[in-house]
Every structure is written in structure tokens, then in C-alpha cells.
Structure 1
Amino acid sequence: MTGPLIVQSDRTVLLEVAHPDAAQARHDLALFAELERAPEHIHTYRITRLGLWNARAAGHSADEMLNTLNLYAKFPLPEALVTDLRDTVARYGRLVIERDDEGLVMHSSDPAVLEQVSRNKQIASMLAGKLSDDSYRVADWARGSLKQQLVKLGWPAEDLAGYTPGTPHDISLNEDGWQLRNYQQQAVDQFFKHGSGVVVLPCGAGKTIVGAGAMAAADTTTLILVTNTVSARQWRDELLRRTSLTEDEIGEYSGESKEIKPVTIATYQILTSRRKGEYTHLSLLDALDWGLIVYDEVHLLPAPVFKLTADLQARRRLGLTATLVREDGRESDVFSLIGPKRFDAPWKEIEAQGFISPAECFEVRIDLPYEDRMQYASAGDDQRYRIAATAPAKLDVVKQLVTKHAGERILIIGQYLDQIDEIAAALDVPALTGQAPVAEREELFAAFRSGAEPVLVVSKVANFSVDLPDASVAIQISGSYGSRQEEAQRLGRLLRPSSSGISASFYTLVSRDTVDQDFAQNRQRFLAEQGYSYSILDADDLGDPSS
């Protein structure tokens, strides 16, 4: 056995990065294991219960997962891990939720498991009586809450209770000069086969097209939930271009407009806004007999929407995302309430097919001047990240990189408004933040796409669902404490294939020997997980970052 993996009994898996089979091993391992650490030579993965259940729900058996580990292992697999993996995978679907003529039923082929969970206080309150040794009646309101609690107990149920068709509404794809890519069709097919779940695709791989394909398959009224108004309008434009839908059939429900139409696109913000403690727009969820609900960027789903989604289990639910990672740790709620992962196409695999642009990723480490180091050293813990992230020394590096990539479309992305304004002023380029009206944002994004404004300094408003196909350089000057989900979105700004065919460059500027550098390890872990090389450069050596 000479493979790149060392599989250990504590469910950790070590990957030798320099091994010739490392790339393929990473690709196969990522189906069921989560990357925890990614330093230069050895990457550490962990096999988690949720990862195994997601893989099982996506159609992968315990034998397939063990075959992957055996194929690439350097040493024999620990027997304890083999047994544990099989037992964990076998827990998925031991309990099944179905529907009979009278309502919901939970049953199991293992009466002992059913008896065990029925004695849990929270679950007992959701049951409406024992039907037989292997089945219980479930309260009609409890379908989502029951699945949440069962995941917490380690017995994830398979939901076969079916879905309401909703009000029929004819939607077809307008495949004039284009067609669904193979992986997009697979994603639609896998989702529709099950009726609920999450599709994981990299930014730029056409998640909106998968949503349109699901809508065409369902032929029903659809509610689409998105991150912001700009995203809502890009969804509208894409649906008008790709489907038979007309402007009269698509409504926007946001802070600026309150239209309810057969296809309604609403923002998470409006859905979770409250007045006097009450959610004032929840009536939207029952405004029409929705047959499909699409959650764009499901990894950003606000916590209140989970509670609302628990009551929507009879509707088909499609989650779209570039990463299942949630910084709040609520991946299990996505699993139980939106649905498990149904399809996952790795970034590098789609890149190899030419559907997203290749990218090189660089971390540029910057030495702080003595005065800044002393300010950092004397600051409190709550101030140190901001001091490191907004260090004035980063400005000279930004200027170097903008000069180096002259003629390309460049996004400079930051977290802090004063830093964004300062850099925009120094470069004499526009700044775009969440304070800008939606019309101004759309105007600046349009100018960027046309080349009239080739450089934009943007806040995190550009992280989500913004279509900038000709961006080939991103310079990240500060972020949300090394958030992996943010890294996915920011890298995704560069991955949409551009007309120039230029390979994308993604730079992160990091202040050396500070928490800025510590947080960068999270970003590095995400990029390594997706199979991207991650070079660490010194700010003094920027003559040719690709060398």
C-alpha cells in the first residue's frame, strides 16, 4: 500500500500533498470528509456523521466510501473505523417518515430504534399515538421539527412523505442556442427525484440555471429567496433570458417592491424583518400555493428562516450553494429542513471541463512598520483584527498589484468602510458599499462589465450572487475573520469564464505576525479543500507573483 492517505481510528485522515495521487484522492475523499487543516505538506480531513449522511443521501454507499479509503491508504484501515463508518452510514434512513390516508407516519424496520426515539421528551410531543410496534402517528405540524430532533439524536430520518404539487404554472426552458450542461441536468434530476435537498456547485458554474431547470421540471408557482435586491434582479433577468417566463409572471418582493406573482423573488432581509417584535412579511409564505421554494446561497440562510422552513416541509425545497460550510455551525439544520446534499460537483472538475476559469491564489504577507506594530501590541483583543486588517501598509501593495494587472478587470474587496473609501480615493476609482442605492450598484456593476470602470473597490455587498464574468483579479484587503463561506463567494467572483480567457488571480493581503495571519489559515483550508494551489508571497517579492 503506497497511497497518499493515512486513515486513523479517531476519524481523521491525513493526506500527503506531494504524492502523485493526492489530487484524485482529495477529489474522492471530499465526497464524505471535511478538510480541517491545510498546511504545506499534510492536510487533515475528518470523517463526520453529517458528512457520511450527506454522502449516503447523495447515493454513495458505505462500501464506496471504504473503497476510496482502501484505494489510497498507505496502511491498512483501522478495524474500529471500518465498523464505525458502516454503523454510522446505516443509521441514515433506519427511520422513515411517510404519509397514509390519515396523515404522517414514522416507521422503522428496527422497533428498538423507534422505541428509543419515541421516549425522547421533545419527540414524544410531536407524536400523536402508537399505530403498531413499528410505527407512530406524527402530528401534522411536526414534520420539520421531528427531522431536526432526530438528527440531533443521531437517527436521521428519510422523508418519503411527498410534496404538494402547488398551483400549476407552465414554465419551460428556452434552450435557443444553449442547453443545460451535463452536470446541471444531473443536479436537476437528482433534486427532482427526491423533491428536496441541496445542490453544491462552485460560483460561476450556473446554480441559477439549475434553479431554472428545477422550476421547468416542477411546472408550478415558485418562491425564490435570495440574499439581496441586486441578486433578485439578476435572477429575474436570467429567468427572462433562459425560460418561457415573461415580466408579468415574475414579481420582486423586497424593501423596494412588494409584488406577488406566480414566480416571486424575495430577499431574506424582507422575510426576516420585524415590526414590534413581529415578522410582518410572513404572509408571503402562504400568499400563493407554492409548489417549489428555492433558497439561493443556502449557507447564508438567516436563523429565523430555519424556523419558518420547518413549517414548509410539504413544499419542494431546493437549496443552492457553493459550500455547505456555515460559520454558525448549523449545517445539520440545512440537512434536516432544506434537505441533504443531492448533488456536488467539485470546482476543479468543472474547471477541467472549461466551464469555470482556472485561478491562482496568493497570500501576500506584509510587514507592519514599527509604529503600527506597537499600536497592535498595546490594543485590546477586540481591536487587534481591525488594526491588522486595515494596516496602511497594505495600500502600497494594492497599488503594485493594480499596476501589475493593468488592462484587466480588478475587484478590490474589503470589510471596513473607511479602508474602502481610503483606497478608492488613493486609486481614484469608484467605491461600492451597501450604503449605495440599488440603482447605483447596478450602474457601477454594468460599467465594470463594459470596461468603462475596470477597477472597483467593493465591500461584502459584492460577495453574493453578483454576475461579473470579466473579473480576472481580486485583491482581498480585509474580510470576516477568515470566513470560509466568504472565501467561497469572493473567489467565485473570478471563476465565471471571461471573454479574455485570462487565468484568474486571487490575492489576500495579510499583516504578518498578527491575528490577520491566523485567520488566513481558515481561507487557506477552504482553497485547499477545493483543490486550488495557495502560494505565500512576501510583499517585497511581488515582481512576478506567478514565479
Structure 2
Amino acid sequence: MADGPLIVQSDRTVLLEVAHPDAETARHELAIFAELERAPEHIHTYRITRLGLWNARAAGHDADDMLAALERWSRFPVPPSVSIDVRETVGRYGRLVIERDAEGALILRSTDAAVLAEVARNKRIQPLLIGHPSPGAYVVDPWARGHIKQELLKIGWPAEDHAGYTPGTPHEIELREDGWTLRPYQRQAVDIFSEGGSGVVVLPCGAGKTLVGAAAMARTKTTTLVLVTNTVSARQWRDELLTRTSLTPEEIGEYSGQLKEIRPVTIATYQILTAKRKGQYAHLALLDALDWGLIVYDEVHLLPAPVFKLTADLQARRRLGLTATLVREDGREGDVFSLIGPKRFDAPWKQIEAQGFISPAVCYEVRVDLPPDDRLEYAAAPDDARYRLAATAAAKIDVVRDLVARHPGEQILVIGQYLDQIGELADALDAPQITGTTPVDERELLYSAFRQRKIPLLVVSKVANFSIDLPEASVAIQVSGTFGSRQEEAQRLGRLLRPTSDGTTASFYTLIARDTIDQDFAQNRQRFLAEQGYSYTILDADEVRAA
């Protein structure tokens, strides 16, 4: 019997023995189709989910591939019920197809009459069907292309969408590969996306997601709407497109709270698209302002809920989602799958690190004891106040000083959640701070000074989580965060993964108040790092001080 690192259980959970010599290889193959649920020190628990299997199938992995991975690394025989369940679940993907007939009508088609009859009788799907021209086909109401995909996924029958896309208004865009070239995985991601027409590309921060977007634009050569998280990100996209493509300043517009430009390539923020005036979305006209042939969703895991509803009406446009993680804290991964598209390409962080395209990183959890008075205040506090008390403990400030002293000459980010804590840290460290209230122009000046190594230390709020290019950062000290968010952990670690000029190994510290809810939330964030193959070293604050 094999001595593998996995134990596959009949409830579709998979246990991974972290210390096993083959653990990392097995994790890489398992993460393609299974989701990490728990990641304590020695045994990690994965679950094989329907959506994980369908995303893997859409990315080109079949049931034989997935079962072979389980059998190759499992210590005991894979339970027959799991093998059957995996095959049957994967086999559901693509049994239903959405396409167009000769007259251009939207058709839901299947060669399995029983499946088609089952979905057609569903009370939420039935109103979306307006004709039954043949035994194997139903006509879908033209407006319902996105909505029907959502409903089909909910009942366990994901449809492959082959109905095609509007080409949009042609617009010439070329990549300018002067002194650089697309990395192999970037080129592969663009090739696979172009074949599928729509979907999500998953790459770690620092691996060049913006270049994948630019290359997709050059491939489609059409008017493009790029949706981003904030104005700073919009301007970084603009700068990158001007540097890497044939686009000129006159061809790129910014549509944000400050500017309302509509150009052949328009970069808009999620905030402006979801802004309301008198109860109505005030900027929906942007979606039809030009005949967009491509819509790029940057940081698609942060897509605000209202944008899903808007996207349901954009199914005739090619859609490219870019993200470091498909995890959503609101559980709407299924809507990403249905409305943006399935995962088309996923390159594991550690694999890209091994190729030298992102920096290696070591992760530490530093546990801090609360002083007796603070511990009593925490114990007496109501539940809804406890996390803030633990996360903003004054005892963390001295530890941050010690950690900064541990890394002389390096570029350091100190990251917090709460404005008063950020102010205290900035004063204690005599460092500039960036928060949501910092004007955009001032933010850009500070980021630029940090990139040029004129400022060695920045104290930042969650505004620095998203789409900020700080290639010289090699140390991040996370003092507080958003309730154990795995999304946030991906973004914050990603701030360190762009290779530095001197090849420094990145250090990622998270400060935790011991025996509090702060420590409980930290376990959730660790799941993301464990999934990507990073392990935590747990340090006591006294060890940091001694070093």
C-alpha cells in the first residue's frame, strides 16, 4: 500500500499530512479541484466541491486527471463512492449547451432528453424559456442569457455558453514588446482565454495580471471597458497600457469620481458603476456608451454585488476576470462562474516562484500577550467590540518597532485596518501614512517615493490591499485586518511578491493578540497561504525582541 500524504474520505474531504515529503506536490495537484477548509499545523483538510470540479473541468482537467491525482497520492484506496461522485459531477458540466440557431435565437440544447426536461420544469427556469422548437432544444428569452446560467448552476446543471459574442467596435491595439516579452504562463493564459471567449485567469499578485489583460486586448483588437477597484489602480492600468501597448493617451479614458472620459479604452472604477442618485444607478449609460467588445474585471473576487446584476445583461460581450484568488467572503463564487465565466487558467504561486517570476516569501505569525488591564477590558467587552480591542492592542506597537529594526535597509509596509491605530503607528515609527482620506495625488507621490527608495517605511490602511504596484517592498507587517479575510491575505502577501532588484526573500508578519478572537480569525487567513504552499512560523513577541 502506498505511503502517500493524502487520506481521501467518503464524505469528499481529503486530509493532507503537511510534513510528508510529497505534500507540496500533492497539494499542487489537489488544489486544482478541491478547496482548503482548515489548515492547522499538521493536517490540512480539503473538500471536493461541485464548483471546484466544474472550474477544473472548464480549465481543461477531466475526471480521469483528478482521480489519478487522488489515487497517486492517497495512503489508502480512494473510496468507490468518491470516484463515482467525481465522475458523475464532472460529467454534468457541458451536458447543457447555450448556443444560437441559424436565425440568431438563443437556444438551450442537450442530447440528454431527461436532463433537458428536468431543467425546463424548474419553476425558476421555466419563465426564461419562450419556445420548444424541437425535442432537444428550448428557446431562451434574449435578455436571460446570464440569468439562466445562474439558475442552472444552482440546480447542479452548469451550462457551457457557446452563443458567441459581439465583436464590438474594432480598435487596433498592439503589444509593444520592447526589451521584454510575455512570460510563458501569461501567453498560455491569453491563448486559453481567447479560445474560451470569457472566463477568469487566476495569477498571484506580482505575476503580471495587467499584462495578461493588455495581451487579451491586443488579441481581440476591440473597444474595451476595464473595471478596477479604485482611482489609483485606474491610473496604474493607464500607465501600464501606455508603456506596453500601442495605445496613446488620447485613446485611454478614465471614468471615475474625478473624471468622466469615454474613449476606445475606458478604465472605470467599481465605485462609480455602483453609485446611485435618487435610488437609481447613475452611470449605467457607461455600459452602453460604446459598443464594447471586451470587458476586463480586475480583482474579480472583489466585484461588488450590484455589478453581478449588471453583468447578467452583458453576456454578449467578452469578459475577462483577473484575480489572485477565486475565494469570495460573500460566497458568490458561483456567480463569478456563471456571469464572468469559469476558471480558464490558474498558475500556482509556488510554481511561478520556482521559475523566478515572483519573490520567495517566508510567513510569520507573531503572538503578543495583552497586558492584564487590556485582558480584563477584552474579557468584559461585548462580542461585537472584542475584535477591535484585540486587533488594536497597544502592546503591538513595540513589537512593530522591533520588527522594523530587524530589517535595516529594507522597504517595509506596516498595514492596519483602523484609522486611529494607523495614526498611532505612523507617529510611533515617524513614518508617513496612507488611508482612504489621503488625496489621490498625495498617495501617488508617496507610493512613487517608496518605489524610488526615498521612503523606507509606509504605514497604510486597506487602500493598499488592491492593485498597488510597490515592487521594492520586501517586508509587510500586518497589525490588523478584516475579520480573517482570505481575500485580504492574498492581496497583502501579494504586495511583497514582485521580485526586488536585489533578489531579497520577502518577509510577511502578522501580529496576533494571543487567546483572543484575533487569533481565531488568523486561522482563517492562514488557509489561503497554506493553499498556496506557504507555511507559517509562529513566533512569540519575546523572540522578536531578543532577535
TM-score (structure 2 length as normaliser): 0.99
Q: Which residue of 2 aligns with 1:379?
A: 381
Counterpart contact for 1:470–1:500, Cα < 8 Å: no
Counterpart contact for 2:107–2:140, Cα < 8 Å: yes
Q: Which residue of 1 aligns with 2:174?
A: 172
Question: Which residue identity is paired with 2:185?
Answer: Y
Where in structure 2 are there 5+ consecutive unaligned residues?
none
Q: Which residue of 1 aligns with 2:108?
A: 106
Q: Which residue of 2 aligns with 1:126?
A: 128
Q: Which residue of 1 aligns with 2:520?
A: 518
Q: Which residue of 2 aligns with 1:28?
A: 29
Q: Equivalent residue of 1:520, what SS?
A: helix
**What does 1:309-328 align with in structure 2 at a 5 Å threshold?**
309-328=311-330
* Deviation by residue 1:60-118 (Cα, 9 ceiling, x = unmatched): 00000000000001000101111011000001011000011241000101011101100
Q: Which residue of 2 aligns with 1:49?
A: 50
**Does the alignment pair 1:80 with 2:81?**
yes
Write the distance in 1 (CA, Å) between the matches of 2:173 and 2:165.
Answer: 19
**Does the alignment pair 1:498 with 2:496?**
no
**Does the alignment pair 1:541 with 2:543?**
yes
Counterpart contact for 2:399–2:545, Cα < 8 Å: no
* Deviation by residue 1:199-231 (Cα, 9 ceiling, x = unmatched): 000000000000001000000000000000000
Write the distance in 2 (CA, Å) between the matches of 1:328 and 1:463.
Answer: 18
Write the distance in 1 (CA, Å) between the matches of 2:120 and 2:296.
Answer: 32
* Deviation by residue 1:413-446 (Cα, 9 ceiling, x = unmatched): 0000000000101111101101011001001101
1:286 Cα shift? Answer: 0.2
Write the distance in 2 (CA, Å) between the matches of 1:527 and 1:243.
Answer: 34
Q: Which residue of 2 aligns with 1:65?
A: 66
1:360 Cα shift? Answer: 0.3
Q: Which residue of 2 aligns with 1:487?
A: 489
**What does 1:220-299 align with in structure 2 at a 5 Å threshold?**
220-299=222-301
**Does the alignment pair 1:16 with 2:17?**
yes
Q: Which residue of 2 aligns with 1:38?
A: 39
Counterpart contact for 2:164–2:316, Cα < 8 Å: yes
1:544 Cα shift? Answer: 7.4
Q: Which residue of 2 aligns with 1:358?
A: 360
* Deviation by residue 1:360-389 (Cα, 9 ceiling, x = unmatched): 000000000000000000000000000000
* Deviation by residue 1:3-48 (Cα, 9 ceiling, x = unmatched): 1100011000000111111010000000000011111111100000
1:524 Cα shift? Answer: 1.2
Question: Which residue identity is paired with 1:526?
Answer: F
Write the distance in 1 (CA, Å) between the matches of 2:520 and 2:133.
Answer: 55
1:129 Cα shift? Answer: 1.1
Write the distance in 1 (CA, Å) between the matches of 2:384 and 2:545.
Answer: 35
Write the distance in 1 (CA, Å) between the matches of 2:482 and 2:104.
Answer: 49
Q: Equivalent residue of 2:495, what SS?
A: helix
Q: Equivalent residue of 1:28, what SS?
A: helix
Question: Which residue identity is paired with 1:482?
Answer: G
**What does 1:340-419 align with in structure 2 at a 5 Å threshold?**
340-419=342-421
Counterpart contact for 1:54–1:340, Cα < 8 Å: yes
Write the distance in 1 (CA, Å) between the matches of 2:107 and 2:195.
Answer: 21
Question: Which residue identity is paired with 1:96?
Answer: V
Question: Which residue identity is paired with 2:43?
Answer: I
Write the distance in 2 (CA, Å) between the matches of 1:297 and 1:15.
Answer: 29
TM-score (structure 1 length as normaliser): 0.99
* Deviation by residue 1:262-300 (Cα, 9 ceiling, x = unmatched): 000000000000011000100000000000000000000
Counterpart contact for 1:225–1:296, Cα < 8 Å: yes
Write the distance in 2 (CA, Å) between the matches of 1:176 and 1:445.
Answer: 26
**Paired positions, count:** 545
1:475 Cα shift? Answer: 0.2
Q: Which residue of 1 aligns with 2:139?
A: 137
Question: Which residue identity is paired with 1:421?
Answer: G
Q: Which residue of 2 aligns with 1:201?
A: 203
Counterpart contact for 2:17–2:42, Cα < 8 Å: yes
Question: Which residue identity is paired with 2:291?
Answer: D
1:542 Cα shift? Answer: 1.2
Q: Which residue of 1 aligns with 2:93?
A: 92
Question: Which residue identity is paired with 2:29?
Answer: D
Q: Equivalent residue of 1:248, what SS?
A: helix
Write the distance in 1 (CA, Å) between the matches of 2:268 and 2:542.
Answer: 47
Write the distance in 1 (CA, Å) between the matches of 2:292 and 2:203.
Answer: 25
Question: Which residue identity is paired with 1:534?
Answer: Y
**Does the alignment pair 1:463 with 2:459?**
no
RMSD: 0.7
Write the distance in 2 (CA, Å) between the matches of 1:411 and 1:202.
Answer: 19
Moved over 3 A (4+): none
Question: Which residue identity is paired with 1:144?
Answer: G
Write the distance in 2 (CA, Å) between the matches of 1:70 and 1:473.
Answer: 40
Question: Which residue identity is paired with 2:347?
Answer: A
Q: 1:392 to 1:129 in 2, by over 3 A?
A: same
1:177 Cα shift? Answer: 0.7
Question: Which residue identity is paired with 1:162?
Answer: G
Deviates more, 1:443-452 or 1:244-253: 443-452
Q: Equivalent residue of 1:362, what SS?
A: strand
Question: Which residue identity is paired with 1:47?
Answer: I
Which residue, out of 449, 452, 460, partners 1:450? Answer: 452
Q: Equivalent residue of 1:407, what SS?
A: coil
Question: Which residue identity is paired with 1:36?
Answer: E
1:406 Cα shift? Answer: 1.7
Where in structure 1 are there 5+ consecutive unaligned residues?
none
Q: Which residue of 2 aligns with 1:146?
A: 148
* Deviation by residue 1:393-420 (Cα, 9 ceiling, x = unmatched): 0000000011111210000000000000
1:543 Cα shift? Answer: 5.2
**What does 1:207-218 align with in structure 2 at a 5 Å threshold?**
207-218=209-220
Counterpart contact for 2:274–2:306, Cα < 8 Å: yes
